[in-house]
Amino acid sequence: MKKSTSVSLLVFFLLIPATLFLGTKLPGRSYYITSTLIILQMLLPFFLAFEGRKPQARELVVIAVMCGISIVSRVAIPIPHFKPTFAMIMLSGIAFGPEAGFMVGAVTAFGSNFFVGQGAYTPWQMMAYGAGGLLSGFLSQKGWLSRKPIYLAIFGFLSVLLWVGPLLDLCSLFLMPIGFSKKAIIAVFASGLPANLMQAGCTAAVMLLVSRPLLERLDRIKLKYGMLENHDKL
């Protein structure tokens, strides 16, 4: 068994249950720490798999470039909740596969927080952004996601509204001190809805306008240099 696989199994079947168990034993509001630890532990297998694969220079650099562009689109555009970042992450996933999509998402969240400020929300953002890239990459790899801009726009809108956005709201639910009553949960998701809608709209607009030229360019680069097709020859 590969080292990264065994570590993943260890994390999911031992570390996370142990954390959950200890979390229930600790006094007070330790679920702050428990939840953040679990998110970190869930990120761990992805990063270890990436390390274990010993990524080649080209793969690293391409992921770095996509991260750089996503971060710039988050940091340089001054309108809050209206950033092309998610669209960029999803397009990376579509062009380079689910693993690359996850890495681009997670590193974008972490890296951009060096510019806008790290916080307890950083692991949650890494998870949510990464999940966005993972989903688009997975669906595209399976051939379930058409590359026509209009379908990509619909996909972008829905996935931000129903997948990435709620994952980010989950963070406020766990880190904001209002408890877990049914009302509090509804309140958190309802208060996140306008921001998610704006973000979803922005993602759809970017997908509609940019997806075709951008994917063409990414494909051209892939074709020109024969990248990310087989991992041995990179």
Enumerate binding residues for other proteins (CB under 8 A).
26-30, 32-33, 47, 50-51, 54-58, 60-65, 67-69, 71-72, 75-76, 103, 107, 110-111, 114-115, 117-120, 175-179, 181, 183-184, 187, 209-210, 213-214, 217-218, 221, 225, 227
The two three-digit tokens of residue 14, written as one number = 């031992």
Contact of 73 with 36, CB cutoff 8 Å = no
Report in angstroms how near the CB of residue 229 gets to other proteins at its nearest: 14
Report in angstroms how near the CB of residue 200 gets to other proteins at its nearest: 20
Burial (0-12, 13-18, 19+ Cβ within 10 Å), 124? buried
Report in angstroms how near the CB of residue 38 gets to other proteins at its nearest: 14
CB-based contacts of 135, cutoff 8 Å, min separation 6: 90, 93, 98, 101, 159, 163
Contact of 22 with 82, CB cutoff 8 Å = no
Report in angstroms how near the CB of residue 80 gets to other proteins at its nearest: 14
Report the residue number, 103 or 160, with the smaller CB distance to other proteins: 103
Report the residue number, 142 or 233, with the smaller CB distance to other proteins: 233
- Residue 51 to residue 4: CA distance in whole angstroms: 8
Report the residue number, 148 or 231, with the smaller CB distance to other proteins: 231
- Residue 29 to residue 184: CA distance in whole angstroms: 16
Report the residue number, 150 or 176, with the smaller CB distance to other proteins: 176
Determine how many CB atoms are found less than 10 A away from the CB of residue 57.
8
Report in angstroms how near the CB of residue 153 gets to other proteins at its nearest: 15
Report the residue number, 103 or 200, with the smaller CB distance to other proteins: 103
- Residue 181 to residue 188: CA distance in whole angstroms: 11
